[in-house]
Amino acid sequence: MLCQACEKRQATTHIKTILNGELKEYNLCSECAHKNGYSSFFGDLNFDLDKLFGSFMDSIGPSKIRKRCQCCGSSFEDIAKSGKVGCAECYDVFYDELLPSVQRIHGRTSHTGKLAHSAGTEVKVRNEIARYRAELEKAIKSQEFEKAAELRDKIKELEKYESDNSAAQGKE
């Protein structure tokens, strides 16, 4: 686009003015812009952006520099904007940042749904213990102490079974 004033050089400056509610736009080359009093943002100084950003980065220190996933290159800001995690590795890299969101969305951070038939007995036993503990808390709150005692005994039995199995696997 050519400069609207001299119609010779390439326009590099876009100017918008509003006078008495009327919008006017001008595209000017740098010389015409300077002649009309529109000097550059940095003035006539020979400004070194590397020095500006270098000193800025030094002042904020390495702790403020964005952390990125080494696998996909996503930052937490990228994840927050898109609402999508870049890759499976991001869950480990941004664990502390993602945890509150996961808890708010899902209500908890561990899986409580159905298990695959191929899931090992160890996983099934742990889930059963967790289920019994939740029931135990409810029984205690509602003062059903006989039921609470039964649940406590079931939990102890399963924990013993779990510890016996892990000890047996350790000997193999």
pLDDT in tens for each of the 172 residues of the chain? 888 889 899 988 888 877 777 888 888 888 888 887 776 554 444 445 454 455 454 544 554 557 888 888 888 888 888 888 888 888 889 888 888 877 777 766 666 666 666 667 787 888 889 889 999 999 999 999 999 999 999 999 999 888 887 776 665 5
Question: Looking at the whole model, is its pTM more than 0.75?
Answer: no
Rounded CA separation 141/120 (Å):
32
